[in-house]
Amino acid sequence: MNTFLLIVSDAFWSALAAMGFAMLFNVPQRALIHCMIGGAIGHALRTLLMQKFGFSIELATLLSATTVGFWAKWCAIRLKMPSMIFAVSAVIPMVPGVFAYQTMIGILDTTHASNTDVVDILAQSSVNAIKTGVILASLAGGIVAPSLIFKRRKPVV
């Protein structure tokens, strides 16, 4: 029950986050609700995989982003719009903003840290930077997964 509540509240807040960014990206109005649902599915699934099944954040992100990619493809067919509209807004809650933030803060801290601390701070920053990169790569990979799997016709260009 506790996990269920966690997932539901997670889905609710990520839907709101996806909505705000979808507005910022000026998505067509009838696509907005689909972006919100996609955001909720993606982030809640990631939280579920991490909390309940003990997945690492990177793998959980890849699986969730792939799910979002397929959801976006389905919306794209139904609403006749490019799938990136749904996919990009929906993965925004999973963008590793906090890891990027901690990387920046760590690098900034080196400006006023003692020589002995600097090594630790830099090591921590590098780990965060690598996590940011891997999560971003998982997001991009997940979004393009449907087209990599199904759209294998001879390139037109």
Partner 1 sequence: MEEQEQKPLMAREELRDVIALSLWAGQMLLQNGADSQRVEETVHRIGTSLGCDWLDIVVMPDAIIASTVSHGEFRTKVRRAPGRGVDMQKIAGISDLSYRATRGELDRFELRKALREIDEAPRNYNRWTVVFGVGLACAAFSRLFGGDISVFVITFLASSAAMFIRQELHKRYFNSFIIVVATAFVAGSIGSLASLFNLSPDPTIAMAASVLLLVPGVPLINAGEDLLHGHTLTGVLRGVNGLLIVMSIALGLILSFWITGVSV
Residue 17 Cβ vs partner 1, minimum distance, rounded to whole Å: 4
Q: Are 9 and 17 in contact (CB under 8 A)?
A: no
| CA 14 – CA 90 distance, rounded (Å) | 9
Nearer to partner 1, 97 or 119 (CB): 97
Residue 1 Cβ vs partner 1, minimum distance, rounded to whole Å: 20
Residue 37 Cβ vs partner 1, minimum distance, rounded to whole Å: 15
Nearer to partner 1, 37 or 85 (CB): 85
Binding site for partner 1 (CB under 8 A): 9-10, 13-14, 16-29, 31, 43, 80-82, 84-85, 88-89, 91-93, 95, 97-98, 100-102, 104-105, 107-108, 111, 136-137, 139-141, 143-144, 148, 156-157
Nearer to partner 1, 81 or 122 (CB): 81
Residue 130 Cβ vs partner 1, minimum distance, rounded to whole Å: 14
